[in-house]
Structure 1
Amino acid sequence: MSINEALLVKAEQLIPSMIETRVEPVRLVDVHEDAQAVQGWSARAAGDAGAIKTGAYGKGDSFVLDFGDHLVGYLRMSVRPVGSPPDAPLRLKLIFGETPCEIGEPFESYNGWLSSSWLQEEILTVDVLPAELRLPRRYCFRYVKVAVVDTSPKYKVSFPDVYCIAVTSGDPSNIRPLPEHYPEDIAAMDRIGIKTLQDCMQTVFEDGPKRDRRLWIGDLRLQALANYETFRNDDLVKRCLYLFGSLLLEDGAVGACIFEKPAPHVDDTRLYDYSLFFVPTLLDYVEATNDRQTLEELWPVARSQLEIGLRRLDERGVVRDDATWWCFIDWHEELNKQAPAQAVLLYCLKRGLKLARKMRDGAAEAWIAAGIDEVTRATLAHLWDEERGFFVSGERRQVSWASQIWMVLAEVFGPEDNAKLLRRLAEEPEAVPMTTPYMYHHYIEALIASGEPEVALKQMRRYWGGMVEDGADTFWELYNPDDKRMSPYGSFLINSYCHAWSCTPTYFIRKHFKDMF
C-alpha cells in the first residue's frame, strides 16, 4: 500500500457530524411464509407495539417489532422482571431484518459463500434485572425479533422501552421537495431512492449498511450523482475522493474499496473498471462544486489511473482478457468482460481529457487524446461485428447487454446509431442479460444519452417500480424480475436490501426527467 499522508489528513478532517434520531417501533407483526412475496416471507399486523411494555415473556416466548421503515442505528431496550425476584440470568436472542425473510428464514439454513457473521443476530445474557441494554453494534433493519431463550421458572420479563437511535450524515432538510403534480409512482421512487442514499451516508458513502459497510468506488460514483441532486453533502464526496487518492495500491492504482477502521486502509481488491472510475467521479465532483484545489491535488491520481488502464491493452489496442485481472461490470457468471472493459476505458479517457483541459495540462491532453484514438480504432476494428450489428466480447464473441450499454456510454457511435443499437439489443434474446441495479443505472443513462428519455423513464418505472411493488423500503443490491430470489452469494439471506448503487432513481427524476411530468 502507498500512503499520501497529506491527502489522508485532509480526508480525516472531513469526517462528518452524525445526525441522530430516536425511532420507536410502530407495531407488532407476525412473519409468515408467503409464496407470492419476493423472498417467500411476509409480515402482517399482530398488535400494538405498546403491548411489550406490560406483557410477560418467559422461556420460549418471542415477538417481532416493526419500526415502520428501514433504519441504520443502535438498538436500546429496557428490561424489567415480572413475578418473583430473578434467580437466574436472562438470555435473549435478537434477530434483525431489513426484510421479513431474514426474520422468518432460519439462519441455520444459510449456505452462502460470504461469511455468516454478516447475518444480523445477537445473544445477550443479562445477569442483573432490571436493566438498560445498549447494543454497541450498529444494525441495519426494519424488523427486530426478540426471543426469550431462558429465564427461570420463577420470573418473566417485560420491555417498557425499545427504540433505535438512527444515524446518518445525510441531512434531509437540504432536499428540495418534488413538485406536487409529479405522479405517485415517481414520488415513491424518489422517496425510496433518497432513503437508500441517506441510510448509506455514514462517515463515508457506504455500499451497504448491513453488509460490507465499506467505501467502494463503483458505488461512490453513483451515490455522488444522487447526492448532488438531493443532500448536497459535497464534503462527504470530497472525503471519499481524498481517501481513495491517499491510499493507493503498490503500483499507484486506486483500490476497489477502503476500510475506515481501525485506521483508514485500502483493501487488496483490485478491479480494472473501479480504478478507472476515480476519473469520472473526480470530474463529476469538480463540475458540481468548482473546487479547483481538490482538482489540483487529486489530478495526479486520476492521470495515473488512465496510464495504468492503458497498460492493459494488447498489441491490437484491445484490453487483454485473461486470468490476470478482475473487472466487475455486473454480477453474471457468464458475462465476458473484455468489451465492456474496453468501453469503460474509453469512457474514462474521454472524461480524463476534460480534466486535463481544466488543468491546462497540455502533455496529458496529448497522450490521452492519442489513447482515445487508439482505443476507438481498435474497438471498431476488433470488437464491432458489422454482420451481427453488435459489439462482441472475448474469444467466443459474446453479445451482452453490458457490452452494448458501455459502448453507448463511451460514444463509439453517435446518438442516432446508439439508439438503433439499443433497440436491436432489446430484440436480441441471446444477449447475456443484466442482473443488478448498478447495470440498470447505466442502461438508463445510455438511453438518455441516445436521445431516448421516454424509453429510459419507462424502463426505470418497470425495474425500480417493480421493487416498489414488491415492498421495498429501500432499493436492493440485486433485483431480477425473472428470478426474485437470486443471489450471487449463494443465499438471498445475505443480500443487501439497502444498497448504494440502487439509489439513482432520485438522480434521474431530479436531473433528467424533471421536464417530463
Structure 2
Amino acid sequence: MSVQVKKEYVTVRNKSFIEKAEQLKPELLTKVVKPVSIVNVKADQKAIHGWTAEYAAPVSELSERELAKKDSFILDFGDHQVGYLSMDIRPAGSPPDAPLKLKLTIGEMPVEMAEPFESYDGWLAGSWLQEETIFIDVLPAKLELPRRYSFRYVKAEVLETSRKYRVVFENIKCNSVTSADYQAVKPLKYVDPLLQKMDEISVKTLADCMQEVFEDGPKRDRRLWLGDLRLQALANYKTFCTNDLVKRCLYMFAGVPDDNGQVAANLFIKPELIADDIRLFDYSLFFVSTLYDYYEATKDMEALIDLWPIALRQVELALERLDERHIVTDSEEWWSFIDWEEGLNKQAPSQAVLIYALKQAIHLADALNAPEKSMLASCLVDIVEAAKQFLWDEKQQFFISGADRQVSWASQVWMVLADILPKEENAALLNRLLMADKAVGMATPYMYHHYVEALLLSGEREKAIEQMKVYWGGMLEDGADTFWELYDPKNKSFSPYGSHLINSYCHAWSCTPTYLIRKYNL
C-alpha cells in the first residue's frame, strides 16, 4: 500500500506556539554501552524471519584478532540501543600502505545481519537500511559515526586492505541517548513473570523512542506522528511522567497547521519544524484525544486555553465529512489510517473515532466553559444515532463498514471504545467477534492495543490478559528486546512495505502494555 498525496498544503506558522515548543526541548541523557559478545548468525526455521544469533566468543577476544580482507565479525550489544557508535582501529603487521575500506551493517534483528540489503525491494526508501561504507586513510584511527543508529547488532566487514597489513578493532561502544529518566519509573512486582517482562520491555521501547520529541521509531521514520504520540503519552503518564515532552509535541502540531486549520499527520523536526503533506481523518482527531489526556494528567489550563481552538477545528473539519445521514463519507484514497490490515474499510471505525474524540472535546469544552459545548453535544447525539441506525446490522449483530457492508475487528473495537452501546452489549459484541471467521482482522500492535483496551473497558479482564500474552508475549518468545512496529503471529514476515528488512523493531505504538498493566492493575 502506498501513500498518494494529491494536494499541496499551505502551512500557517504560529510563531508563539513554535517558540513555546522550543522552550520545552528536553535534555538528552547519555550512557556508554559496550557490546556483550561476539555472535554468529545462523539460519533457523523456528526463529523470526528465519535467522538467530548465537554466542560465539567473548568481546575481549576481539582485540586479539587481526582481520584481513574479507574477514568480518558481528557484535551483540545485549539489548536494543539508540545512539552513536565509535571504535578504535589500529594496524597490525607492516605499516599501512593503502586505505582501509570498511563496511558496517547495523541492525535491530539478526535478519539484518544475514540478508544482504541489496536484496531489498520494498516501496519505502532503502536508505532507511542502516549501513556505512567507510574509507580510512590513516591508521590508527578513532572512528566516530556521525549518524544516530537504532540497533542491537553491528557487523563489521573488512572489504579492502593491502596484503601488507591487517587491522584490529578495540573499544567499540555506543553513546546511547534518550530524554527518558528511568529513575522516575516506579518498579512493579508481579506474581505473573510474563506481565512483569512485558512491562519492562514496554518501558524500554518507550524510552528508546523518547528523543527530542516522541519519535514513532528511532530506526524509521524518526518523526512525530500523532497516532503514535497519543499512545506514547498514555504510557508516559504511567511511567516516566515527562509531561513537558507531551506538551512540546502538542504545541508543535498546533504551530504548523495548514491554511484550513487541519494539523498534519506527522511532523519533521529538522532542519526546522515542518508539517508533512499527509492529512488523516483519525490522526487529526487524535489531537483532541492527546490534548484531553494531557489535560486530565496535568490540569494545565494555560495549555488547554492555548490549544483548544486547534482541537475544536479538528472536530469541525471532521464534521464536514459527514453526509446527510450524519455518517462519515467513505472514499478510496488514504484518508484515514486505523490499521495496516489489507482490504480494511475505514468508514465505520472512523465514525467511531469521531464519536470517541467528540466526547473528549465536550469534556474539554466543559472545563473551559466554552460556548461550543452545546453544539458539540447536539452533534454527538446525531452521530451516535446515525451509527446505530445505518452501521449496525441487526441480522449479523455486527457493525458494518462501506458499500460492501464489511465486518471487521477494527469496526467493532472502535465502536466499543466509542461507548455507544451498554457495557454488557459491548462484551457480547467482542465475544461474537471471536467466532466471526470472515471478519477482516488486525495487523499491528497499534490495533491490538485498542482491542485489548476495549476488552478491559467491557469487563473482559481475563480475555484482555490472555490476548496480551498471546500477542506481546509472542513477540517476547520470538526474541523481542523492544516491541515491534508489526507482528502477525500467523504471518511473522508480514510487512506493508514489501520487505521485513525495513520494518521497525522498536516502535512507539507497541509500547502500551505498560500503560494497560499499570492503569488497569493487571
TM > 0.5: yes
2:335 is aligned, of 317, 326, 351, to: 326
Is structure 2 residue 385 aligned with structure 1 residue 377? yes
1:418 is aligned, of 404, 426, 438, to: 426
> For 1:378, what is the secondary structure of its paired residue?
helix
Supply the distance in 2 between the matched residues of 1:37 and 1:446 (Cα, whole angstroms).
31
Is structure 2 residue 357 aligned with structure 1 residue 360? no
1:142-181 to 2 correspondences below 5 Å: 142-179=152-189, 181=190
1:66 is aligned to 76
> 1:325: how far off?
5.5
Counterpart contact for 1:272–1:325, Cα < 8 Å: no
Stretches of structure 2 that go unaligned for 5 or more consecutive residues are 1-10
> 1:204: how far off?
0.2
> For 1:280, what is the secondary structure of its paired residue?
helix
> For 1:189, what is the secondary structure of its paired residue?
helix
Structure 1-normalised TM-score?
0.98
Supply the distance in 1 between the matched residues of 2:334 and 2:447 (Cα, whole angstroms).
20
Supply the distance in 2 between the matched residues of 1:249 and 1:53 (Cα, whole angstroms).
56
1:340 is aligned, of 326, 329, 349, to: 349
Aligned structure 1 segments of 4 or more residues deviating by more than 2 angstroms? none
Counterpart contact for 1:249–1:268, Cα < 8 Å: no
Number of residue-to-residue matches in the alignment: 512
CA deviation map 1:116-159 (0-9, x unaligned): 00000000100000001110000000000000011100000001
1:395 is aligned to 403
Is structure 2 residue 110 aligned with structure 1 residue 105? no
1:251 is aligned to 260
1:226 is aligned to 235
1:450 is aligned, of 458, 471, 490, to: 458
Counterpart contact for 1:258–1:266, Cα < 8 Å: yes
Q: Go from structure 1 to structure 2 and tell me whether the alpha carbon gap of 1:458 and 1:324 turns closer, same or farther (over 3 Å shift).
A: closer
1:486 is aligned to 494
> 1:54: how far off?
2.2
2:6 is aligned to none
Tell me how large the CA RMSD over aligned residues is: 0.8
Q: Go from structure 1 to structure 2 and tell me whether the alpha carbon gap of 1:325 and 1:121 turns closer, same or farther (over 3 Å shift).
A: closer
Counterpart contact for 1:273–1:341, Cα < 8 Å: yes
1:297 is aligned, of 298, 306, 309, to: 306
Is structure 2 residue 44 aligned with structure 1 residue 34? yes
Supply the distance in 2 between the matched residues of 1:268 and 1:98 (Cα, whole angstroms).
29
Structure 2-normalised TM-score?
0.97
Counterpart contact for 1:54–1:160, Cα < 8 Å: no
2:194 is aligned to 185
> For 1:245, what is the secondary structure of its paired residue?
helix
1:497 is aligned to 505
CA deviation map 1:35-77 (0-9, x unaligned): 1111111000110111221210010000000000100000001
Supply the distance in 2 between the matched residues of 1:251 and 1:209 (Cα, whole angstroms).
31
Q: Amino acid of the residue matched to residue 111 of structure 2?
A: C
Q: What fraction of aligned residue pairs are identical, expressed as a percent? A: 57
> For 1:3, what is the secondary structure of its paired residue?
coil
Supply the distance in 2 between the matched residues of 1:455 and 1:364 (Cα, whole angstroms).
39
CA deviation map 1:148-174 (0-9, x unaligned): 011100000001210000000000000
CA deviation map 1:474-496 (0-9, x unaligned): 00000000000000000000000
1:209 is aligned to 218
> 1:367: how far off?
1.0
2:270 is aligned, of 255, 261, 268, to: 261
> 1:324: how far off?
5.5
> 1:323: how far off?
3.4
1:477 is aligned to 485
> For 1:50, what is the secondary structure of its paired residue?
helix
Is structure 2 residue 124 aligned with structure 1 residue 114? yes
